[in-house]
C-alpha cells in the first residue's frame, strides 16, 4: 500500500492535527471511548475523525467502528466537513456526516472553539448478524457529547434562562444568578451561540454495507430490494413479504431491476460518444487481460502501438476473453444506429454498457454496484468502490500496481470533477471520492 499512500490514492486530503490543545482534546475523546490516549504529536484525520496514525498506534483499524455498526466520530474543527471519509463500512457515512454538519453548523462552530464533539451514529442494532439487522436500520440518531461538558453546561444555562424569564422572583435568587454567570463565562451567550445540536435524527436511505461480502439495499417508495451474495445470512428469509432479493451474480435480474426503476442509463449515442465510456472500458479490459496473461509485462510502455502489437500477438486470447471485441462491436453499433440492442446481449455484458442515471439520488450507489460487476475497470472501482479497489490491488503484481497508480494519478487525481463528468455524467463535488 506504500505506493498508494505516497501518491495520495489512500489517506489523501486528510487534515493534519498537530496543535497540542487539539491533540489533547482528541485524546479526551479516545479516553471517553475507553481507548488509550495517543502519544503522537501529529496526526491526520478524516471527516469522522478517523486517523490512520492512531489506528496504527492502537493496532486497530476499527477503533472508531468496533462492531461494524454505530460508527463513532470525533469532531475537532468545522474544517472536517470538507474532508473525505477514508474508513467506513457503510457507503452513506459521509452523507450522514454532511447532514449533521449542515443541520448543526452553528453548534459545531461554537462548541469546537473550546471543546471536542464526539459520539456515535446510533442505529437499532449493536452487531450485524444477518440481513435483517441491516434492514432494521431505517434511521440513525447522532448521540453527541463533549469532553468538557460544554453541551451539558449550555443545556443547564438554557434551563436557568427559561426559569428566570418565567419566574417573577427569579432575579432575587442569588445562587441561581451566580450559577448563570459561572456557566456563561464558559459557554458565552447561548442566545447568540447555539451550543446544543438540534438536528440529530436522519433517515437511512439506500446504501451499501461491507458485511457478508457487500450488501446493497435500495429503498423505493413502497418496496425494498437487497442485492448481495445469496449465502448471506437472512437472504430471502428476512421480511420476504416486503423485500425483494437478488443474488449479486444474477446479472439479468439486476439489469431488469435497475432499468425498470429508472436507475440505469442505457447506451445511447447522445452520451456514449462524447463520454468515451466504451473506449475507456475497452482500454481497461485489455490492460486487465495483459495483467492476467503476462504478469511481468511492463505496462509503462503500453501506448496505443504497444497495445495493438500485443493484441495482434495474442489475438486468440483476446477473442476468447471477448470483452474487447464486444465493446468494439458496441461502438460500431452506436455509431451506426445510435443505440445498442440490449435484448440480444448476454446479461453480464449489458451492464458493462450502462451507467447510473446521473440525476438519480442513488447515482453513486448504482455506479458502485456496476463497478463491482466490472472488476477489470479499476478506474471505476477507485471512483465508486474504494474498498473493492483496495482488495483487488492487493492481488496485483508489482508491475501492474505501478501501472494502476500511473493511470489514476494521470487521469483522475488531477481532474477528478472533469473525469467524473465526462465518463459518468456526474456533476458537483464528492468529498469522499
Q: What is the pLDDT along the chain (433 residues), one digit of tens a residue?
A: 789 988 888 888 899 999 999 999 999 999 999 999 999 999 999 999 999 999 999 999 999 999 889 999 999 999 999 999 998 899 999 999 999 999 888 888 888 988 899 999 998 888 999 999 999 998 898 888 887 666 666 666 666 666 666 666 666 677 766 676 666 666 655 444 455 566 778 888 899 999 999 999 999 988 999 999 999 999 999 999 999 999 999 999 999 999 999 999 999 999 999 999 999 999 999 999 999 998 888 888 788 888 889 999 999 999 999 999 999 999 999 999 999 999 889 988 999 999 999 999 999 999 999 999 999 999 999 999 999 999 999 999 999 999 999 999 988 888 888 999 999 999 865 544 3
- Domains in the chain: boundaries: 2-149+195-203, 250-424
First CA to last CA distance, the chain? 18
Helix 251-260 × helix 363-372 angle, to 10°: 160
DSSP 120: E
**Contact call for residues 11 and 52 (beta carbons, < 8 A):** yes
- The answer to whether 213 and 369 have CB atoms below 8 angstroms apart is no
> What is the radius of gyration, based on Cα positions, of the chain?
26
**Nearest to residue 30, comparing CAs of 5, 6, 60?**
60
Strand partners, 226: 217, 245
In the numeric block, the cell 489533547 is attached to: 24
CA dist 433 and 430 (Å) reads: 6
How far apart CA 61 and CA 30 sit, in angstroms, is: 14
**Cα-based angle 304, 305, 311 (whole degrees, multiple of 5):** 85
Work out the number of other CB atoms within 10 angstroms of the CB of residue 292. 11
Q: Which residues pair with 16 in a beta bridge?
A: 44
- What pLDDT is recorded for position 150? 63
Q: Which residues pair with 90 in a beta bridge?
A: 209
With vertex at residue 410, the alpha carbon angle to CA 329 and CA 366, rounded to the nearest 5 degrees, is 55
Amino acid at each position: 500500500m506504500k505506493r498508494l499512500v505516497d501518491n495520495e490514492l489512500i489517506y489523501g486530503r486528510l487534515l493534519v492535527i498537530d496543535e497540542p490543545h487539539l491533540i489533547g482534546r482528541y485524546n479526551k475523546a479516545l479516553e471517553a471511548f475507553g481507548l488509550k490516549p495517543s502519544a503522537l504529536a501529529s496526526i491526520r484525520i478524516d471527516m469522522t475523525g478517523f486517523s490512520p496514525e492512531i489506528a496504527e498506534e492502537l493496532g486497530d483499524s476499527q477503533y472508531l467502528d468496533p462492531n461494524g455498526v454505530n460508527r463513532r466520530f470525533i469532531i475537532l474543527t468545522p474544517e472536517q466537513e470538507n474532508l473525505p471519509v477514508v474508513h467506513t463500512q457503510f457507503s452513506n457515512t459521509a452523507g450522514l456526516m454532511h447532514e449533521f454538519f449542515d443541520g448543526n453548523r452553528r453548534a459545531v462552530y461554537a462548541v469546537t472553539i473550546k471543546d471536542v464533539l464526539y459520539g456515535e451514529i446510533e442505529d437499532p442494532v449493536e452487531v450485524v448478524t444477518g440481513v435483517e439487522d441491516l434492514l432494521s436500520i431505517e434511521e440513525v440518531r447522532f448521540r453527541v457529547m463533549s469532553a468538557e461538558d460544554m453541551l451539558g453546561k449550555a443545556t443547564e444555562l438554557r434551563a436557568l434562562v427559561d426559569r428566570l424569564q418565567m419566574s417573577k422572583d427569579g432575579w432575587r435568587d442569588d445562587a441561581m444568578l451566580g450559577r448563570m454567570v459561572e456557566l456563561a463565562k464558559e459557554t458565552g451567550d447561548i442566545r447568540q451561540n447555539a451550543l446544543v445540536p438540534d438536528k440529530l435524527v436522519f433517515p437511512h436511505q439506500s446504501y451499501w454495507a461491507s458485511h457478508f461480502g457487500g450488501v446493497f439495499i435500495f429503498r423505493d417508495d413502497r418496496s425494498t430490494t437487497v442485492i448481495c451474495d445469496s449465502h448471506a445470512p437472512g437472504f430471502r428469509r428476512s421480511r420476504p413479504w416486503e423485500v425483494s432479493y437478488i443474488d449479486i451474480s444474477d446479472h439479468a435480474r439486476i439489469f431488469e431491476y435497475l432499468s425498470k426503476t429508472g436507475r440505469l442509463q442505457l447506451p445511447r449515442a447522445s452520451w456514449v460518444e462524447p463520454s468515451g465510456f466504451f473506449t475507456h472500458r475497452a482500454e481497461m479490459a485489455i490492460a486487465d487481460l495483459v495483467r492476467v496473461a503476462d504478469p511481468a509485462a511492463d505496462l509503462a510502455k503500453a501506448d496505443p502501438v504497444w497495445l495493438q502489437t500485443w493484441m495482434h500477438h495474442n489475438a486468440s486470447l483476446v477473442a476468447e476473453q471477448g470483452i474487447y471485441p464486444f465493446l468494439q462491436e458496441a461502438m460500431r453499433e452506436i455509431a451506426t444506429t445510435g443505440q445498442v440492442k440490449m435484448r440480444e446481449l448476454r446479461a453480464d455484458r449489458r451492464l458493462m454498457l450502462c451507467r447510473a442515471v446521473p440525476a438519480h439520488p442513488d447515482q453513486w450507489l448504482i455506479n458502485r454496484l456496476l463497478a463491482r460487476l466490472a472488476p477489470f475497470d479499476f478506474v471505476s472501482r477507485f471512483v465508486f468502490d474504494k474498498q473493492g479497489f483496495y482488495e483487488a490491488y492487493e492481488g496485483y503484481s508489482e508491475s501492474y500496481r505501478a501501472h494502476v497508480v500511473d493511470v489514476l494519478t494521470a487521469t483522475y487525481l488531477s481532474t477528478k470533477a472533469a473525469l467524473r463528468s465526462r465518463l459518468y455524467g456526474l456533476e458537483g463535488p464528492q468529498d469522499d471520492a
